Amino acid sequence: MTMLLLALITLVLHGALTGLFYTFSMSVMPGLNATDPAQAEAAMRSINRKILNPWLYLVFLGSPLAALVAGFLADGRAALWFFAAAGVSFAGSFLVTVAVNVPMNNALDAGTMPFKDYSPRWTAFNTLRAVASAVALVLVGLGLTEL
């Protein structure tokens, strides 16, 4: 696999992840907030179960890993941009997901967190993931310019 191809795959993965998080914050969650809380909870539980699929794992885990590999394979400034993208993606997407969003999803699923408490906090942290993913996307783009 050539370095350029790896960098382009890394760019696409970060773009897909950014789009996923952005879509939830700007349309899915506002749409659920506009419905009956019981229906919103049921819908979000279903979404949380169905989103766990190979395509999510490819994008979610692949984004920071591809940037890290690109960093190791690139030279000079390109390597620094890819390493920065990997770090931002890992901290702003992976760690936030594991530490905040997934536990909240589990609480919603268990019925221990009502949707009125879940939605604003979950959306705020999801928006953080969207911003971090967008920053990582830009960093990958900068790495591409240095190849």
Between CA 105 and CA 98 the distance in angstroms is 10
pLDDT-based confidence at residue 50 (cuts at 50, 70, 90): very high
Between CA 147 and CA 102 the distance in angstroms is 36
pLDDT of the residue at 107: 98
| pLDDT tens digits for range 104-127 | 999 999 999 999 999 999 999 999
SS3 label, residue 125? helix
pLDDT of the residue at 53: 97
| pLDDT tens digits for range 51-82 | 999 999 999 999 999 999 999 999 999 999 99
The answer to whether residues 28 and 47 touch, using CB atoms and an 8 Å cutoff, is yes
| Domain locations along the chain | 3-145
| pLDDT tens digits for range 91-102 | 999 999 999 999
For residues 3-11, give the mean pLDDT: 98
Exposed, middle or buried by CB within 10 Å (0-12, 13-18, 19+), for 73?
middle
| pLDDT tens digits for range 10-49 | 999 999 999 999 999 999 999 999 999 999 999 999 999 9
Between CA 67 and CA 111 the distance in angstroms is 37
pLDDT of the residue at 134: 98
pLDDT of the residue at 40: 98
pLDDT of the residue at 18: 98
Report if pTM > 0.85: yes
pLDDT of the residue at 71: 98
